[in-house]
Amino acid sequence: MATDLASLALTHRSARGANNERLEFLGDAVVGLVVAELLYERFPKLDEGVLTRMRAHLVCERGLAEVARALRLGERLQLGPGELKSGGQRRDSILADALEALAAARYFEAGWDLCRAEVRGWFEPALERLRGDDFGKDAKTRLQEWLQARALGLPRYELVDAVGPEHAREFLVRCHVDAGAQQTEARGHSRKLAEARAAEAMITRLEAGERKQGAA
């Protein structure tokens, strides 16, 4: 049973037969709760808004994928021939889903207490790198300060699209940075919100790239 669940958690839908999508659904909640608990304990003076932003940083697709890479899950994934050929074992979305599915598998295999302890261990290294005061600032300010600290150019925001009626318009914004000629996109019900989300995505990408370079 346990071996079957662990194997299922690492089986992508591109492989034949049963896959990890149902486990991923439950694992999303398991990981979210454990990370929220860690943050609540570690930062007793931070308010709900800052804790929410910190949790989003840790459990976003890229953040989950980083944890999955630290656990070397990519080496254990079961993928279909097409995904194997295209490097699916390195793709953030596939790694993130597998990590959440594995959390659910551990919940069923070992029960809540052991699952909770294991998942906490997965995220504690990433938690050590967090600074609460960074998340008290808005994403655009944090991105600008990150770039300035490294003598890099300022970010640029481009309105790509605005759709929908005036009272329910949705904006698509692209964030550009000169470092590596990178860009991210995000949507929001205001241009300001879309810009903030694009900046948050860019911060996550740049920090991940810097950590990867440091580990090389």
**What amino acid positions are annotated as catalytic residues?**
28, 100
Strands of the sheet with 182-188, listed across from one edge: 156-163, 170-177, 182-188
Task: For residue 193, give both structure tokens.
Answer: 């919100």
Report the 10 Å Cβ neighbour count for 213: 8
| Angle (nearest 5°) at CA 90 between 89 and 94 | 65
- 170, 188 Cβ separation under 8 angstroms: yes
Total residue length of the chain: 216
Positive or negative, the CA dihedral 44, 198, 175, 166 is: negative
Task: For residue 121, give both structure tokens.
Answer: 């261990």
Positive or negative, the CA dihedral 64, 69, 74, 76 is: negative
Q: Which residues pair with 183 in a beta bridge?
A: 176
First to last CA, the chain: 38
Contacts of 141 (CB under 8 A, 6+ apart): none
